[in-house]
Amino acid sequence: MHAPSLPDRSIEAYAEVTDRNATEIEDGYDVIVIHDPQPLGTIDRLEKTMPNAATVWRCHVDLTAPSEEHLAFVSEYANRFDHAVFSRSTYGGSVDVSGASVVHPSIDPLADKNRSLDEETVAAERDRLEPLSFDAPVVAQVSRFDPWKDQFGTLAAYRRAREAVPDLQLALAGGMAGDDPEGMELYERIAQEAVADPDVHVLTDLPDATVNVLQRESDIVVQKSLREGFGLVVSEALWKRTPVVGSNVGGIPLQVEDGHDGYLVDPDDVPGVTDGVVALLEDERLRTSLGENGRVRVRERFLLPRQLADLPEVLATVLDLEY
């Protein structure tokens, strides 16, 4: 079965790749967890090779407004799983699964991107980021180069904010996802748009420790997504006591409480981003207070130990065990 509106060759290629990947799973398991839509098709083979295993689909994407043809294609696989785990409760209404849970993603506080750093490491990573200078105000956005991340909107907000804060700098840092053919093209377009402004720094494929320092040393982090699955870069910034101005989409409003640890704006509200950035840059006490609140919020809700505590309950449900 497949969604007839999708190209036959695309469907055949998907089936070939997922079947080949499924052959790599050779041992027997009680529970199999498949992450996101890309490997869903492995269920075809796994139902045959491990018919007694419970199957769980961990969905990290936002399903609230999907294209109908792609949703139909994904649903034919997802509906065969015993259980699904979503990042938000609103994401689960588009597919029909036997059971579902909500588990928020989390960050690892001991990973290179999030751990505390000694002064020597911070100094070395600041040098790596030159000519970006933290002696003047810095706004950063850390996102892969993807149209939904709206780096162009962040750039527009920065240009408006420069009218109030003339020495403001902007860092747009992102990676190139291996499965995203648009990434390099978008990076080049953004770099070209910013080339005439020496205070805009378009950075790519930074080491995790460098991203850590960028989020930690920036005055504000912006996450101006048009759509977002969850956006853990928000928690990464808040964990480092850096307030966030983010879009009210996806998982961002779960991480940012407006006025408490940052500001939330509509996804297309460039002036709103500007206002939030300027308000924080002009009030150091406010910036510090919101940053401290953000650290507490992440510690309570979005660190890895909390997620590890949630997962056994999911597995117990799937295996019909008491927990």
The full set of domain ranges for the chain reads 8-105+304-318, 119-301
Backbone angles phi, psi at 163, to 5 degrees: -65, -30
Q: Which residues contact 149 (CB under 8 A, 6 or more apart)?
A: 141, 143, 174, 224, 225, 226
Q: Whose CA is closest to 212, among 142, 144, 155?
A: 142
**Residue 176 and residue 172: Cα distance in Å, rounded?**
13
Q: pTM of the full predicted structure?
A: 0.90
Q: How many other C-beta atoms are found inside a 10 Å radius of the C-beta of residue 28? A: 9
Q: Which residue has the tokens 């850390």?
A: 142
- Describe the chain by its helix, strand, coil percentages, rounded to 5: 45, 15, 40
β pairing state of 31-35 and 54-59: parallel
Model confidence pLDDT, tens digit, residues 189-216: 999 999 999 999 999 989 999 999 999 9
* Superfamily name and number for 119-301: Glycogen Phosphorylase B; (3.40.50.2000)
* Torsion 15-17-23-27 (CA) sign: negative
Model confidence pLDDT, tens digit, residues 65-76: 888 888 888 899
Q: Check residue 2 and give its pLDDT.
A: 45
The token duo for 101 is 């849970």
Q: Which residue has the tokens 């999708």?
A: 6
**pLDDT per residue as tens, the chain (323 positions):** 444 466 778 888 999 999 999 999 888 899 999 999 999 999 999 999 999 999 999 999 888 888 888 888 889 999 999 999 999 888 887 788 888 999 999 999 999 999 999 999 999 999 999 999 999 999 999 999 999 999 999 999 999 999 999 999 999 999 876 666 678 889 999 999 999 999 999 999 899 999 999 999 999 999 999 999 899 999 999 999 999 999 999 999 999 999 999 999 999 999 999 999 999 999 999 999 999 999 999 999 999 999 999 999 999 999 988 77
**Residue 129 and residue 210: Cα distance in Å, rounded?**
8
Can you list the alpha helix ranges (DSSP code H) found in the chain? 8-22, 43-49, 68-78, 119-128, 151-161, 183-194, 208-217, 233-239, 252-255, 270-281, 284-301, 304-318
Q: CATH topology of 8-105+304-318 equal to that of 119-301?
A: yes
Q: In the beta sheet, which residues pair with residue 85?
A: 58, 101
**Residue 70 and residue 88: Cα distance in Å, rounded?**
20
Judge: domain 8-105+304-318, CATH 3.20.20.140.
Answer: no
DSSP 8-state assignment for residue 117: -
Measured CA to CA in angstroms, residue 4 lies from 8, 41, 44, 208, 250 at distances of: 8, 16, 19, 42, 29
Model confidence pLDDT, tens digit, residues 251-296: 999 999 999 999 999 999 999 999 999 999 999 999 999 999 999 9
